[in-house]
Chains A and B, each alone.
Chain A
Amino acid sequence: MTIRDLLAEHKDAIIHKWIDAMYGTYPFDTVGFLRSSRDQFSNPVGHTTAASAVVIFDAIAGDDVDEARLSEAIEDVIRIRAIQNFSPEQAVGVLFVLKTVLRKMLRAAIVQHGLHDEQLEVESRIDTVALMAFGKYAACRERLHMMKVDDFKRGYAQLLRRAERILDKPVGEPDTQKPIA
């Protein structure tokens, strides 16, 4: 018995619990909708969370991962949580909850089969995923700020162009230095 076998055996139940925990970070009245509405376009948050959870679970369970696919799955969830009403900890922290779920569900079997070392390896992989999520969160927030700047530039594009023609130099460049008296 390896931890891989254990994870394979309990895969559906673990993912289910973890997804529920992630849904649980939304207001109570919203959870039912996230859980029950199946259409990926009517319920993009629920759908994306569930779809990404499966990919992430597979990545932490096995050794071989399709890194591009994993990266995309993490990004899909984090991109949503990064702009919702969450603190940074709440946005990224859902990944650590997977540890809690695993510990709760597999504790007895891990003790019984002496799989503690393997458990630590799995948990390290969760840490890796969480670090990747942290990077993605930061990138999302950065992009959000850049978007504000770009919004302004686009909105005033032709006025800036006109100003540049009148001033005969790019807007934002300092005026020619006056000689110091």
Chain B
Amino acid sequence: MSKLPTPDKLIATIPAFPMEGWMDTKPDFKPGTWCYPAKVDNMKALGMPNPHEWSADQEDWNLPENWEEIIYEGLKSRLAKHRSLKVFMDICVRCGACADKCHFFIGTGDPKNMPVLRAELLRSVYRRDFTTAGKLLGKLAGARKLDKDVIKEWFYYFYQCTECRRCSLFCPYGIDTAEITAIARELLHELGLGIHWIMEPVFNCNRTGNHLGIQPHAFKEIVEFLCEDIETVTGIKINPPFNEKGHEIVFITPSGDVFADPGIYTFMGYLMLFHEIGLDYTLSTYASEGGNFGSFTTFDMAKKLNAKMYAEAERLGSKWILGGECGHMWRVVHQYMDTFNGPTPPKMEVPRSPITGTVFKNAASTKMVHIAEFTADLIKHNKLRLDPSRNDHLTVTFHDSCNPARGMGLLDEPRYVLQNVCNNYVDMPENTIREQTFCCGGGSGLNTDEIMEIRMRGGLPRGNALRYVQQKHGVNTMACICAIDRATLPPLANYWAPGVTVYGTHELVANALVMRGEQKRTMDLRQEELPGMEDE
């Protein structure tokens, strides 16, 4: 028999993390906090190193026997390859400016989610093996021995970083924790540790070109369903070209836009826009995926999966690539594609809008234009007939996806588009948008449902800002330009700001787009009645 604890005692039983010193505490792999491991068969098929069975909640992760050597060599070669990594390891002065800027720290309250400590998880090992002070002084110099618990901790915290880069915005030295995370994940992959939610799409992409592994005939059929829906709403029949040679543009977008709700409405929006302006383009069932989960795996995998874009542009003889609304796809295109897959095929040209004549000099080297820029340019040149009043029942705010915002500076174009197709637009508070935007909580391949709790923790700061504008300005719509957002924001809104619906920007464009020969619009693209436009 024992005495019942008081409520105070009961709630006081949280782990005494700080008292023990951060190096000595271990993560608790509770259900809901860790992602399921990748399938061994997928890892083998992809030629990933050391594929094996393991699970984060087990004591023994079945690491390869020489795991320490693998990490040592892996880190050594990456330090030599990425000068940035070496610099990031050396120059942090622990000023703490980044500490409270991470959405995972803000949402979890776990100090190891402070970017400075996240990086320290790798840095402490680096110090021991690669700095003289660390070798001599050990713990005193912030160095620590690599043991299996360190590997577990890496897995726990480097899969609680969405590589969003918000922290780097505040670091006086520009230390980019996202890059540290990317490299730490590479090191984990050397030991055969990867997650299913990332590796399954990688495996599928590698085989069929898209995340769900949809084959060309099914891809085409599904696009045709969407065309039927467009006809229902507008009375206009669209037959988009597939894999046709000789068109000026090849259009590539994340496959989530074709298969998943609510991305499909955005995809319908693209098709309607292209039809209306008479764009000379083709879709591709080979480059049927703009997203690149390889970029959450290793740089080599990112390069491999991305290669299909230029290969397809070359095969089809297209002059340039128009890309759909996506986040990480654009990080890869904007920051890595040149190095990965460049130079572009010789017949490609600097993109020039065939409608307005605008030359996208910013895309001179990649030859790839983001559709938000393309559409903003159309509107700027008055090339679209728009009836924003069709969106009058919506009060819209815009979520800046981390990658287009911080990765490529695409801040004003989507807002310009939205403000032209919607009459009621409000921004969220300024320290939560544009460069300072808060992540959706599920970027970098963490949008899997087994960690819904972690996603909600990471999504808390975004949800909090959304709820604020919902309460203050009656916002009921959150627009975005990212396919992962279209998957992650609906539950985020459902939890933190119930009543807010998530839209792709081009869905709202298409709702407002007045098309030649269309029937009177009484429904939006979701086939919901447009208030005030009902049949008389």
Q: A residues engaging B (CB < 8 A)?
A: 21, 24-30, 33-34, 37, 39-45, 48, 79-80, 83-87, 89-90, 93-94, 96-97, 99-100, 140, 143-144, 147-148, 150-159, 161-162, 165
Number of A-B contacts (CB under 8 A): 152
**Pair B14/A86 contact, Cβ less than 8 Å:** yes
| A41 x B490 contact (CB < 8 A) | no
B422 at the interface (CB under 8 A from A): no
Does residue B110 face the partner (Cβ distance < 8 Å to A)? Answer: yes
Residues of chain A contacted by B457 (CB below 8 angstroms):
83-84
Report the separation of the CA atoms of residues A168 and B429 in the bound assembly, to the nearest whole angstrom. 49
Contacting residues, chain A, for B100 (C-beta < 8 A) = 33, 37, 42-43
Query: Which listed residue (A148, A159, A161) contacts B449, Cβ 8 A?
Result: A148
Contact residues in B for A100 (Cβ distance below 8 Å): 6-8
Q: Which of A24, A30, A153 contacts B111 (CB 8 A)?
A: A30
Given contacts A84-B457, A93-B7, could you give 19 more A-B pairs where the C-beta distance is less than 8 Å?
A25-B12, A27-B14, A27-B17, A30-B105, A30-B109, A41-B432, A42-B431, A44-B106, A84-B108, A85-B110, A89-B10, A90-B11, A97-B7, A143-B495, A144-B495, A156-B260, A158-B222, A158-B258, A161-B225
Q: In the assembled complex, how far is the CB of residue B110 from the closest CB belonging to chain A, in whole angstroms?
A: 7
Q: List 29 A-B contacts (CB under 8 A).
A: A25-B11, A26-B14, A27-B111, A28-B19, A30-B110, A30-B111, A33-B100, A41-B432, A41-B465, A41-B468, A42-B461, A43-B106, A79-B495, A83-B453, A83-B457, A84-B107, A85-B14, A86-B14, A89-B11, A90-B10, A94-B11, A147-B449, A150-B494, A151-B490, A156-B259, A157-B260, A158-B226, A158-B259, A162-B225
Q: Given A90-B13, A147-B452, A156-B260, verify A34-B487 contact (CB < 8 Å).
A: no
**Bound complex: CA A104 to CA B99 (Å):** 35
- Bound-complex Cα distance A162 to B259 (A): 10
**Interface core residue of A25, A93, A155 (most chain B CB under 10 Å):** A155
> CA separation between A40 and B260, bound complex, in Å?
34
Q: Residues of A contacting B12 with CB < 8 Å?
A: 24-25
Cα–Cα, bound, A143→B218 (Å): 33
Q: What residues of chain B lie closer than 8 Å to A89, measured between beta carbons?
A: 10-11
B43 at interface, CB cutoff 8 A? no
Structural contact, A147 and B487, CB atoms closer than 8 A: no
| Chain A residues closer than 8 Å to B262, beta-carbon distance | 154
Given the complex of chains A and B, what is the CA–CA distance between A159 and B496 in angstroms?
29
Interfacial chain B residues near A161, Cβ < 8 Å? 222, 225
Which of chain B's residues has its CB closest to A86's CB? B14
Shortest beta-carbon distance from B23 to chain A in Å: 13
Name the residue of chain A whose CB is nearest to the CB of B465.
A41
Chain B proximity of A46: nearest CB distance (Å): 9
Contact A154 B7 (CB under 8 A): no
Asked if B264 lies at the interface with its beta carbon under 8 angstroms from chain A, I say yes
Which residues of chain B from 456 to 493 have any CB-CB distance to chain A below 8 Å in the complex? 456-457, 460-461, 464-465, 468, 487, 490-491
Q: Are B10 and A80 in contact (CB under 8 A)?
A: no
Complex alpha-carbon distance, A44 and B432, angstroms: 12
State which of A42, A96, A148, A158 has its C-beta within 8 Å of the C-beta of B106.
Answer: A42
Q: CB of B499 within 8 A of chain A? A: no
Residues of B within 8 A of A96 (CB): 7-8
Q: Point out the residues of chain B lying under 8 angstroms from A39, CB to CB.
A: 431
Name the CB-closest residue of B to A151: B449
**Which residue of B16, B109, B449 has the most chain A CB atoms within 10 A of its CB atom?**
B109
CA distance A157 to B259 in the complex (A): 6
Asked if residues B487 and A28 are in contact (CB atoms below 8 Å), the reply is no
A99 contacts across to B, CB distance below 8 A = 7
Instruction: Mark out the residues of chain B between 207 and 247 whose CB falls within 8 Å of any chain A CB in the assembled complex.
Output: 212, 214, 218, 221-222, 225-226
Q: Contact at B259–A34, with CB atoms within 8 Å?
A: no
The yes or no answer to B261 lying at the interface (CB within 8 A) is: yes
Chain B contacts with A in 424-441, Cβ cutoff 8 A = 429, 431-432
Whether B456 lies near A144 (C-beta < 8 A) is yes
A45 to B110 alpha-carbon distance, docked (Å): 12
Name which of A21, A27, A39, A43 has the most chain B CB atoms within 10 A of its CB. Answer: A27
Contact call B260/A26, Cβ cutoff below 8 A: no
A151 to B12, CA, bound (A): 34
Residue among B260, B429, B487, B495 making CB contact with A158, cutoff 8 Å: B260
Contact B494 A155 (CB under 8 A): no
- Top 5 A-B pairs, shortest CB-CB distance: A28-B18, A96-B7, A44-B464, A29-B111, A93-B11
How far apart sit A12 and B511, CA to CA, in the bound complex (Å)?
A: 52
Given A93-B7, A151-B487, A158-B222, residue A26 in contact with residue B449 (CB < 8 A): no
In angstroms, Cα B259 to Cα A144, docked, is: 23
CB contacts (< 8 Å) of B99 on chain A: these are 33
Decide: A154 and B110 in contact? CB cutoff 8 A: no
In whole angstroms, what is the CA distance A26 to B259 when docked? 41
Instruction: Report chain B residues within 8 Å CB of A152.
Output: 449
With both chains docked as a complex, state the minimum distance between the C-beta of B181 and any C-beta of chain A, in angstroms.
21
Given A83-B457, A152-B449, A157-B260, do A27 and B465 touch, yes or no (CB 8 Å)? Answer: no
- A140 and B12 alpha carbons, distance in the complex (Å): 22
In Å, the complex CA distance between A85 and B451 comes to 13
On whether A29 and B259 interact (CB within 8 A), knowing A43-B106, A162-B222, the answer reads no
Q: Nearest Cβ in chain A — how far from B261, in angstroms?
A: 4
Which B residues from 103 to 117 make CB contacts under 8 A with A?
Answer: 105-111
CB-based contact A162/B494 at 8 Å: no
With contact pairs A151-B449, A162-B225 given, residues A44 and B8 touching in the complex (Cβ less than 8 Å): no
B11, A79: Cβ atoms closer than 8 Å: no
CA distance A135 to B251 in the complex (A): 49
Q: Please encode chain B, from 9 to 42, with 1 for each CB lying within 8 Å of some chain A CB and 0 for all others.
A: 0111111111100000000101001000000000
Complex: A147 Cα to B7 Cα, angstroms? 31
Question: In the bound complex, how far is the Cα of B491 from the Cα of A114, in angstroms?
Answer: 52
